[in-house]
Chain A
């Protein structure tokens, strides 16, 4: 008298599984196309010249003149250099300060901890435009206007809360027994951080640092506002402001070449450190 379930033959389910596999394969292919085609198209377009650009040939023409021009352009090289300086300095500063704070926030017990964590989280959702006028004044005050270092300063507002938050989540995951042994041995907190936790935090620092780097590298609003001349622009602003003489002469070829160039190292980085990046992104969000 058991509840008999309706079922069909094994062949039916075998066929269904096959259909399902094929359908999944198609959807996956579609997804890959959706995700990758724009970048592919940028590569294709960047190797086309003049009229070629306006024909929809799906294969690259492999004409690298745009790239040659791009690298001959001193301003573009400068903006790449600026971007690198800003992103690296911002990342290094945020990681340093963030690690110090994350240790205290993740491990030490002091009454202000909760409210501080909350403040950090709140600052990370700050709309950047809110601090724009105050920051503008401050930067002019420091004499940093139209200097790339103004951006290092400004970017700390979003990279520092971010690194602090993510590193705190990472530090909380380390087993406490590690430091308890050191506490029994009478180590100071500074020694615990530098000689016990820090060596273990390599992967966490890489994840967080990569994300901070990408955030800083891609930033647009501050970079647009606090720099004026071509020599102090970062890459996103340089590309954003790359324009032709009129709407109909829009230089899509060179823009695509520049886009491909600045994105390539980023994509290489992301693909290489895929797991680390995902770990960093989710450490702060899912568990936090």
Chain B
């Protein structure tokens, strides 16, 4: 097995920079997930590690060895593609065993290995078929089998589940988690689906515009995002934001904003808050003028297991609230208050960096401590 490291890696396509000075260390046996909005460079980063795309600058290191100049075929990695990339003219058995044909193994050895992998992935009854005759989930299993059979040092997954429907996706997610637990192999997994990221990852790398925004455990990203981008990206529905004006006097700071916001916070570091954020699940409904914010109930969504309320606090800003029980008795258009606990408040400066305030600081420290 192997560790993977990226050292000051950059890449541009023509004059368009795609990856911008990325540094990353991935430990042996770790499962790291790259997430980010589309076009953030996460797939490109994976391809750089695989050697499918040559790096522009910097080095890729696998197992302590610089492999920047080594072609993809010699890097000892396996890649699972979003489109599965199965060979359409070959049987499933040959698809899985194809890479072994060049390693000088005998027919029997190849067949034995293919059979073993097929049993692990429950596709042993499909070996004589062709990719076109298989369902999406089955094809995905074959693609994973093709990676498994080579016993590579590093597995790379490029949005492997995004072409599956949601049931299958959940099933395959568990399958991949199980594989990782059994193989203890290093895995890098690219997805735009934060549920996959949160559930699978040992650590998550959040990418935006070719730069790493934050690296951390799922809990760190959720509870202690370093900036507004990560705060907004992780969590669903996304965090509510609103711009505020701050009146700083010493360590204490008075915040004013839409929805009759008027709040005192204690800032523990340098910086002036320009925006606040609260997660929908941290909000609770209070009577009008009772909470920290006031707004108009605009829309209610009953999802069965939970309810979402949309509260307009300013002409261009509506906050979403996630509630365990219904607000059925509240009429739309009613003015209501929103409340939250102090530790659930996130503050950001005008550049989007998160500012520690006394309560949230303690809390994030606790989160870090618990995970370390």
Q: Which of A1-45 contact B (CB under 8 A)?
A: 1-5, 7, 10-11, 13-14, 17
Query: Could you tell me if A4 and B68 are in contact, using CB atoms closer than 8 angstroms?
Result: no
Contacting residues, chain A, for B74 (C-beta < 8 A): 5, 7, 13
Q: Which one of A5, A10, A14 has the greatest number of beta carbons of chain B within 10 Å?
A: A5
Give 1 or 0 for each of B142-171: 1 = CB within 8 Å of chain A CB: 000000001111000000000000000000
Q: Is B103 interfacial (CB 8 A cutoff)?
A: yes
Query: Could you tell me if B69 and A2 are in contact, using CB atoms closer than 8 angstroms?
Result: no
How near does chain A come to B205, taking the closest CB pair, in angstroms?
Answer: 24
Query: Could you tell me if A13 and B71 are in contact, using CB atoms closer than 8 angstroms?
Result: yes
| Complex A-B, nearest 10 residue pairs according to Cβ-Cβ distance, in ascending order | A10-B69, A7-B74, A2-B151, A14-B69, A13-B69, A5-B76, A13-B70, A2-B153, A5-B74, A3-B151
Q: Which of B40-71 contact A (CB under 8 A)?
A: 66-71
> How many of chain A's residues touch chain B, expressed as a range?
10 to 19
Contacting residues, chain A, for B103 (C-beta < 8 A): 3
Distance in angstroms between the alpha carbons of A3 and B149 in the assembled complex = 10
Known contacts A2-B1, A2-B76; is-contact A7 B152 (Cβ 8 Å): no
> How many of chain B's residues touch chain A, expressed as a range?
10 to 19
Distance in angstroms between the alpha carbons of A17 and B72 in the assembled complex = 13
- CB pairs A–B below 8 angstroms (26 shown): A1-B151, A2-B1, A2-B76, A2-B151, A2-B152, A2-B153, A3-B103, A3-B150, A3-B151, A4-B76, A5-B74, A5-B76, A7-B70, A7-B74, A10-B66, A10-B67, A10-B68, A10-B69, A10-B70, A11-B69, A13-B69, A13-B70, A13-B71, A13-B74, A14-B69, A17-B69
Distance in angstroms between the alpha carbons of A14 and B66 in the assembled complex = 13
Contacting residues, chain B, for A14 (C-beta < 8 A): 69
Contacting residues, chain B, for A4 (C-beta < 8 A): 76
How near does chain B come to A5, taking the closest CB pair, in angstroms?
Answer: 5
Contacting residues, chain B, for A5 (C-beta < 8 A): 74, 76
Distance in angstroms between the alpha carbons of A13 and B54 in the assembled complex = 12
Distance in angstroms between the alpha carbons of A265 and B151 in the assembled complex = 60
Distance in angstroms between the alpha carbons of A11 and B66 in the assembled complex = 11
Contacting residues, chain B, for A7 (C-beta < 8 A): 70, 74
Distance in angstroms between the alpha carbons of A216 and B74 in the assembled complex = 53
Contacting residues, chain A, for B70 (C-beta < 8 A): 7, 10, 13
Distance in angstroms between the alpha carbons of A36 and B67 in the assembled complex = 41
Contacting residues, chain A, for B71 (C-beta < 8 A): 13
Contacting residues, chain B, for A13 (C-beta < 8 A): 69-71, 74
Distance in angstroms between the alpha carbons of A7 and B71 in the assembled complex = 10
Distance in angstroms between the alpha carbons of A274 and B15 in the assembled complex = 26
Distance in angstroms between the alpha carbons of A2 and B67 in the assembled complex = 18
Distance in angstroms between the alpha carbons of A5 and B78 in the assembled complex = 13
Q: Which one of A1, A2, A4, A14 has the greatest number of beta carbons of chain B within 10 Å?
A: A2
Give 1 or 0 for each of A231-257: 1 = CB within 8 Å of chain B CB: 000000000000000000000000000
Contacting residues, chain B, for A2 (C-beta < 8 A): 1, 76, 151-153
Closest to A3 in B: B151
Q: Which of A46-72 contact B (CB under 8 A)?
A: none
